[in-house]
Every structure is written in structure tokens, then in C-alpha cells.
Structure 1
Amino acid sequence: MSSESSIDPRRIGFLFNHDELHQVAHIAPIISALQRQAPSARVEVITSSDRQAEAVRQFLDPALPTPAFWSIRPNRWSRLAENLLGKMVPLNRLSSLKRSSDLFRHFDALVVPETTTTFLKINRSSDRTRLIFFPHGAGDRSIGFSPEISLFDYVLLPGEKTRDRMLAAGVIRPDNHRIVGYPKFEAYANRPPVRLFDNDKPIVLYNPHFDPLLSSWFRFGEQILDYFAQQSDYNLIFAPHVMLFQRKLLASVEHRMLKFRQRIDPHYAALAHIHIDTGSSSSVDMTYTNAADIYLGDVSSQIYEFIQKPRPAIFFNSHEADWRGNPNYDHWNFGPVLDDIADLGPTLKAVSPLSDSYREAQTRAFAYSFDIDAQQLPSQRAALAIAEFLDLQQRGEPATI
């Protein structure tokens, strides 16, 4: 049991330090849950933009005291340098971390959804502050199991798949992690469907990643948009990973590759059967994965959110990957994998209804990737895990002096 009294409560910060909002829902639901689980702790929020702060507030329980909010905006010089470098290096995030190290030293722990925060460990900027990590997604790419994860003090995980791969990679230990489920599903549960088109034709979601090697956008993107522009059997949602259109020059640290991202011809957006969204909140809140009948993509972890309800999926192998048996491409077992744009039309016709073999593959993979507990929400499980790891006084327990 903690030796801290209510006079000097423990401080836990939820740190959101990214250009975009796609990471927020992965840990924001835990904030109010931890306030309930450990009411004597000071649960606080740290953001690097007003957009992040507003997004986080949407997940807070209004019946509870509003947490303190701290801002760690990057300075204008780091913004200028990052823009000059085509946003290839996350200088804004690193600048925010470095300039806020004095703030972080006052926290007992920081809960984060991304690995840039390990900068604090590498530079010994905050030795007393323990870092708790929840990955923002449950995909298969190798970067999700990178060596930086070993720098975290504790890791919360969505399911067995991520745990098994992290253990195999040696980036977590048997005693420094816990499976808690997927708070993002909780965050957007029971939302009414959004009607995007004025007809009942099948809806295809094209969701390319931003990685310059792995993404289908650079090789096939314009041809895919052309195909849908010239046909009348399907509606198309084009909603790529939010980072694809935030940068003109895309960099992959993992694959050491740079590519310029081509623009979208505006005539596509004028078509009634094509909906284009390159980065609104709808592209990260499961609006499109819930609305679509068919998924079309490459390596985005959003495929795992899509198969919450098994449906047809098609993947483009735009980089000649030897993917069979490779765990980084396990999701390519959920549907046909295409190497040629000419195969798109016939495959769309053949992929529905979903075959039994693909349905079984999706169902099996979903259960392996996400641990579902009907008795306890993921945010509650995560809050309990954090409270126990930090030895916080929990509700119903007597305070110790």
C-alpha cells in the first residue's frame, strides 16, 4: 500500500504529444476510470495543442472533477525547422518533451500512446517518473514491436497477439505488462451509423497507410480513385491514415525511405458517390470502418477495427512483399491480396458475400488481438492495472500515513 497521504497525493499525467488526434481515444477513456479507481491520486492531462485538449475533454465523465490540464506547445523554432525538413523528423514532439522536462519531474507516472516519450528515459530527463505505454492500435507492422518499447516501465496491451509478439521481441517482460482490452472500442461503442450517400449501394473504404514503402497510395492510389470515379456500382470512402496528407514528404524511419506524396485531383471530391476525408475526426473515430461494407487497404491497423464485424476485405501488395507466413502481414489473410490494379474490379464482384474461410480468419484474429471482458470495461481494467502498478490507494481502501 502506498505510504503517500491525502495531503501529498500521487500525480499521474496522461500525455498527448502528437500532431494529430488519432491517438487520443486509445488512452483518454482511462482518465475518468482512474479518477474513480484511485480517488486520492491527482490525475492530470498534458497536451500539445488546443485540438488535443478539446478531444480529450469529450471522453471525461462530467460527474467527476475536471482534471488539471497542462499545455506543452512546441516553440516556433522547432515548428519552423520541422516544416523546413518536410515534417520528416518529429521535432515538435521532441521539442515539447525537452522543454517540459521540469514539469514531468513532478509526476509519479505518465501514461502515453506513443514511443517518442522514451526520449525522457534516453536523456534521463525525468528519472523518478515512470512511463506507462498503451499502443495506439493493434496492427501487425514490425514498428509496433520496436526496441524503444523496452524503455517503458509498464505496458498495457489490447490482447494476446500484441503481448506474444512483444515478448518474442524481448521488449516487455512477464512482470511489466497487463492485457486490458481496447479502450477505443469502448470510446465509440453504440454510436448510430452515419449516412454518407443517398443510395444503398455497397460502400468501399479505401484506407491506405502513410509509410512510403508499405502504402498502396504511392503506386496505386490515383488508379484506385480513377476506377471508382468511372463506375456506378459502389460508393467510395477515401479516408487514408491521417498522417498521409499532413506531410508533403513522407519518411519511414523503419524502412529508411522518403517519398513525395502526390496531390488529389479535386474532381474526385465533386462526385456524389465518392467521399474524401484526409484527416477529420471522422477518419479516426471509427465512423468509416463502421459504415463500410468492404475494406480496401494495405497495412493500416484500422483493418482490425473493421473486422470487429467480419466483412469482405481486399489488400494491395504495392511493394512486392513476400508476405505469406510473415507476421507483419497477418491481416492479409483476411481477404484477397492484389498485385495489379486490373484485378480490382473482378475481385470486388467476387469478394461478397464473405467466404467462410475469410470469416473464420477474421474472427480468430480479432479474438487473438483484442481481449474482451463482458464484466469490465477496458478503461476500468486499465485503471486497475495502473493503480496496482503504482501502488495507489484505491477506492474503499483505508488511507495510510
Structure 2
Amino acid sequence: MSETLLVTPAGKPRARALGIPFTGNPGRFNAITDVPGVEVGYTTLISGDGKMEIGKGPVRTGVTAILPLGREGAGQAIAAGHHSFNGNGEMTGVSWLEESGALNMPILISNTHAVGPCHRGTIDWMVRNKPDVANQWMLPVAAETWDGYLNDINGPHVTSAHAVAALDAARNGAIEEGSVGGGTGMNCYAFKGGNGTASRVVNYGHRDYTVGVFLQANFGSRKELTIAGVPLGAKLADDNPIEAFAANLPAGAGSCIGIIATDAPLLPGQCKALARRVPLGLARTGTAGSHFSGDIFLAFSTANRDALNGRFPKGEPDAGAYGHIDFIPWGRMDDFYTAVVQAAEEAVVNALVANAEMIGRDGHRSPNLPHDRVVNALKTRGVIAS
């Protein structure tokens, strides 16, 4: 098995390193960056310990940047759609996305109270890198999940400069998972959570396409946790300081932001259909979808580059003033739906596995998923060979 399927660039184990089985055929990096052109960058902010003082820390947060067409393609419109499984969260820019079916901006993800600086940072970055786009209008996409258990979330620690730095850091290839970027202070199933990614290759007869999923995983109650179809919540119910904090943080609270990319040519409505499948992948890991978890998903296709642009027109329309778009027939979408579900499930488990315990504000502790106990439980059920 390829090394990139087993460990992150920093050498942290991924789910397959534990022998956890998954269905479907992953791409080279088993990441959203398997989709050609997609780049991911992080700014990670970790500082301070002890008692929280608003504005002073401790800080456990950051920014994640996803560039659908890389630096050079920023500003070019591609088909996209979003789905709000539970709207107790925020993703800016989706009103226009819903209206036009097009995305032409980078996607930034951070903590709940850092949406503003990320929005501003995207504008600053576009002004510097794509002034022609900035001279018209911009509706950046900035999304969030809540990291207030570990982080001084009300402090102004994330700045527009941090958002710009994450955009500047975006690269293709293997990407880091766990407690990095916007996922730094997040928790999942009352274990240390954060960023997870996975991909699937879909054969379409004459060629292969790739579907990649990236999650900022910050959801789920411990009792719900399921891995490879095995309910593990009861077996791992001990050492649960996060839900002991439940007077201020209801079990299952937090949120999940999911970004789905594919190089298959799709209509905006088909992108929305992909986004609607992410909850099915999350459900495989146990969650029923908490009221306190804002679960919002965005899918885009990198094909038909700039076919959906809405730039200011020049001159009068002529015989060539029409747009054209190729797309997968609706009747052949099932394999792409399956790919989203499979990759979303694995991305959650990757986010859990690629993590270590973290101590944050006021000594709040987020324990890591105990790898050995998970492996032993799966061996007992025959999911992993003894």
C-alpha cells in the first residue's frame, strides 16, 4: 500500500495504517488534492496555556484555504452547489452560489468567530493576485465550526493576514490532517478532531474521474461513534472530559464543514446532489446530526472552466455569445454519489486517527482516539484480521 495512504506528510498515521478497511478505490494521495488543480493551505495558531483571558489566549485555532483551480485559476467560474444539512452554522457566499450555480473564489474555513477576518483576507488576497476580478465584485466563501472548548474563540487571534498566509501556502499533493489550520481546535465524537480528507476514483468507461472530500470534523457524541460498521461508543465511553463539560457544551455539538471536489463535468444541480450525500458518509461513523452541529457542505466541479462566468459583459451579444457546458448524464450519477459517501466516511476516521491529545484554555483536555483499543475492538468483531 502506498505510503501516502498510510501516513500524513508529518508522519502521523491515517486510518488505513491501523488496518481499518474501507470500500472504494482511493486516488494517489487519498485526498481532495487528487482532483487536478485543487490546492490546500493552512495557517495554524497554537500559543499559551492555562486560564483563558479573552484576547490573550490560550490560542488553538487557524485557517484552512482551499483553491479549487489553484492560484492561477482563482476568479474563473466553475459549477458548484451547496447543501445545509443543519443550518446551525455559517458559510458565506452561498446565496450567490445558489442563484448562479457558480463558484469563482477560494474557500476558507476557520472558527465560528473568525469568519469576518477570513472573508476580508480573501478580498485582500484577490486584490493582490487577481485585480481584474477584484475590480468587479467578490462574494467570498468563508465557513466555520466552533472551537471554544479549547480556544479563546472570542479573542481576535485570527486576522486577515492569517487568511492570506493560508491562501499563499496552498499546494497540491499530500496534505496534512488532524489539528492543523481551521481544524486545530476542533473535536469529533468527543475525541480530538479536525481536518480529514479522502478520495475515490470513479471509472466512467473511457476514462477515470476523481471525487475528493475534505472535512473540518467537529461533531458527534461519544456514544454514537462507529468505525467500519462497529459501534464503539460504549467501549470507549471512559476518559470523556469534553462531554463532562456538557453544562456548557451539549453532547454532539460543534459542526462539520465539508468540501467536495471532482474533475467530472457536472451541472450546478449535480454538484448540489453530491453535497447532499455527505451526511450519508457521516452517518456511517455514527452521528444522527445534532441540533447544535451546523453541518454545511459545498461541492464543485473543476471541469468546464469559466463556462459559468458572470463577468460584466462587453458590447452587444452576437452569434458567439452563448455558454456551453458538458455534464455527466443524470442517469449515470450513482457511482459519483457512492464515491462521496465512501470518501466522507474515511475522511472522518482519518481526522480522528491523525491526532494527538491537546490541552487548551483553562486546562480543557481533548483526548486522542485510542488506536490500540479501536484495533482490538475491530479484531474482536473480525473486521481486522488477528
Normalising by structure 2, we get a TM-score of 0.24
Higher strand share: 2
Higher helix share: 1
The higher-RCO structure (CA 8 Å, 6+ apart) is 2
Q: Give 1 or 2 for the bigger CA radius of gyration.
A: 1
